[in-house]
Amino acid sequence: MLRSILTYYAKARENDAFGLLLRPKVLANLRRFDQESKARPLTMTSAPPGIEIELTNRCNLACVQCLRSRGLKPYALGDLSFENYQRILAQFPYLTHLGLNGFGEPLLHNRFFDVVAYTRREKPSCKITIYSNGLLIDADRAARLMDCGVKDLNISIDAAIPLTYQRVRRGGRLQVVHENIRRLMQVRRDTRARFPRVGLNFVMLNENEGELVPFVEQAADFGVDFINCISYASYDWGSATAGRPGATAASSMPPQRAWRSWACGASRSRRRICPGPIRGTASTAASSGARV
């Protein structure tokens, strides 16, 4: 019981979510959801405390690990209307976490900041997270992101050198992303904003093998808060290549090998890697833009 209380306190402190104490129904639902997740009953009585809503399925990149780039059947591109977003959000009264992600780049939505502001008003204790490729975080967006309501901003890079970046995250330029990250961190320091926390994503592939150590060192130079180190796995989700030999055999790199590679390099470095830990070193991400 004490451990559970301390865990909730740590999470609330990290996410500036002490407002939950004023919402006993949300807290009660979260507690019941955690209990039911462990007990695994046939029918759950709790409501979902966390969801993801895809604002757009449009993207400005064609990453090799994304389902959009792996023979998926053609589908219409478009954005979720603000009115439909409001209708969806209203169906989840006890949210504590919301991811504004899917297969697209959330910053392409022309009402992204309106969506965040509305969510902040309607769900003030809800943690908002986004995953972005970082290419659209110019000076204006960097300033608007400061304490706008987004708590965690995950920037997916997957490379330490420009050539690898061009191979993996096709259509982008690593130099632009690095410049945007430096500007974003400088704006946060200048404004003394607490949020968003900024993290960098590294999906381990054959194409970027050996670049995890320099990637971590670059993250330290940027001064980001955390790193997501993710093992890649491909799943057949309606791919046009389904059933063909090797169709779902993704290029992947064992997380253990990448972890050893990072640990060896880090042990030789005297610099502090980054203020926060490397997260999810052994986790698996599906081949979708929502997570990578």
Between the ranges 66-75, 180-189, 203-212, where is the mean pLDDT highest? 180-189
Sorted by where each begins, the domain ranges of the chain are: 1-46, 49-285
Residue 265 has pLDDT above 50, yes or no: no
Residue 70 has pLDDT above 90, yes or no: no
Rounded average pLDDT over 159-165:
97
Amino acid letter for position 229: C
**In this predicted structure, what is the pLDDT of residue 8?**
60
**In this predicted structure, what is the pLDDT of residue 16?**
64
Residues whose CB is less than 8 angstroms from the CB of residue 43 and which lie 6 or more positions away in sequence, other chains included: none
Looking up tokens 């955390």 gives 226
Residue 52 has pLDDT above 50, yes or no: yes
Q: What is the chain's mean pLDDT, rounded?
A: 81
**In this predicted structure, what is the pLDDT of residue 129?**
97
Residue whose C-alpha is closest to residue 98's, from 79, 134, 122, 67: 122
Residue whose C-alpha is closest to residue 148's, from 112, 100, 190: 112
Rounded average pLDDT over 140-148:
97
**In this predicted structure, what is the pLDDT of residue 230?**
86
Is residue 250 a contact partner of residue 233, using CB atoms and an 8 Å limit?
yes
Tokens representing 291 are: 């997570």
Amino acid letter for position 232: Y
Rounded average pLDDT over 172-185:
98
What HEC string does 118-182 produce? HHHHHCCCCEEEEEECCCCCCHHHHHHHCCCCEEEEEEECCCCCHHHHHHHEECCCHHHHHHHHH
Is residue 28 a contact partner of residue 94, using CB atoms and an 8 Å limit?
no
Rounded average pLDDT over 243-258:
36
CATH code for the domain defined by 49-285:
3.20.20.70
The string of pLDDT tens digits covering residues 207-249 is: 998 999 999 999 999 999 999 998 876 555 444 433 333 333 3
Rounded average pLDDT over 113-134:
96
β-bridge pairing 278-279 and 150-156: unpaired
pTM of the full predicted structure? 0.78
pLDDT-wise least confident of 152-166, 241-255, 264-278: 241-255
pLDDT interval class at 21 (50, 70, 90): confident
Is residue 279 a contact partner of residue 227, using CB atoms and an 8 Å limit?
yes
Residue 160 has pLDDT above 90, yes or no: yes
Rounded average pLDDT over 127-151:
97
Residue 48 has pLDDT above 50, yes or no: yes
Neighbours of 284 (CB within 10 A): 13
Residues whose CB is less than 8 angstroms from the CB of residue 249 and which lie 6 or more positions away in sequence, other chains included: 234
**In this predicted structure, what is the pLDDT of residue 103?**
86
**In this predicted structure, what is the pLDDT of residue 246?**
34
Residue 170 has pLDDT above 90, yes or no: yes
Residue 158 has pLDDT above 80, yes or no: yes
**In this predicted structure, what is the pLDDT of residue 235?**
53
pLDDT interval class at 258 (50, 70, 90): very low
H/E element holding 112?
A: helix 112-122
**In this predicted structure, what is the pLDDT of residue 221?**
96
Residue 256 has pLDDT above 50, yes or no: no
Rounded average pLDDT over 248-277:
40
Looking up tokens 């039911």 gives 36
Measured distance CA(71)–CA(247) in Å, rounded: 10
- How many percent of the chain have pLDDT more than 70? 72
Measured distance CA(76)–CA(265) in Å, rounded: 45
Residues whose CB is less than 8 angstroms from the CB of residue 278 and which lie 6 or more positions away in sequence, other chains included: 216, 226, 227, 228, 229, 262
**In this predicted structure, what is the pLDDT of residue 248?**
32
**In this predicted structure, what is the pLDDT of residue 249?**
32
H/E element holding 113?
A: helix 112-122
Residues whose CB is less than 8 angstroms from the CB of residue 134 and which lie 6 or more positions away in sequence, other chains included: 155, 156, 157, 177, 180, 181
Whether the upstream peptide bond of residue 162 has omega within 30° of 0, thus cis, is no
